[in-house]
Chain A
């Protein structure tokens, strides 16, 4: 298993600003995933972040809006850029593979 921490746990931001979410894992992992969970919705994969290569974004998500860094095997960041109220969601980091993923506690973002 893996222990994952996320910072911040929650934030309230004004529209037009950006927020960077950090994800730290207690062990080296190859694959890291970023998900979004909008109110009342299911988890939606934003992108897969592998160390040493560009993140792979899912349909509907673009790098300009959600830039991701993966500087090493234990850390990643997701930035939500030029925020609007529609970006209000819980953002989750997870690690593992497709057969078992371990999730962070999530970052609850509210955009006003």
Chain B
């Protein structure tokens, strides 16, 4: 079964510290993976997708097929990074987005 797991419900760091939000997936084929973010009082929006191999707001995510992971990283967290982050998988069999339960990132000054 296709599944996305985000093991941490809450991640708290201080400003300037490195951040890694974990995402593991279960899918037998070649997945397409995404990170969506929801800032306070804003709607859910796409942060980045692995096929673009992009860095958005200093965040990067590398697909590791051996570990079936797609962790989101940022070397120096900023207070404005505080938000809810969702990892999502686009599985070829069902052709729909499957979301993880989300991780709340809190960045303290």
Contacts and interface: CB of A to CB of B under 8 A. Distances in A.
Which secondary structure characterizes the binding site on chain B? strand
A40 B44 CA distance: 16
B10 interface: no
Taking chain A's interface residues, is the majority helix, strand, or loop, or is none over half, making it mixed? Answer: strand
A101 interface: yes
A92 B95 CA distance: 19
B101 A103 contact: no
Contacts of B95: 98
Interface string A100-112: 1111111000000
B82 to A, nearest CB: 19
A62 interface: no
Nearest to A44: B99
B43 A103 contact: yes
A54 interface: no
Given A42-B86, A43-B86, A101 B99 contact: no
Interface of B: 4, 32, 43-46, 49, 51, 86, 90, 95-97, 99-102
12 contacts: A41-B101, A42-B4, A42-B101, A43-B99, A48-B96, A94-B44, A98-B90, A101-B46, A102-B45, A103-B44, A105-B43, A106-B43
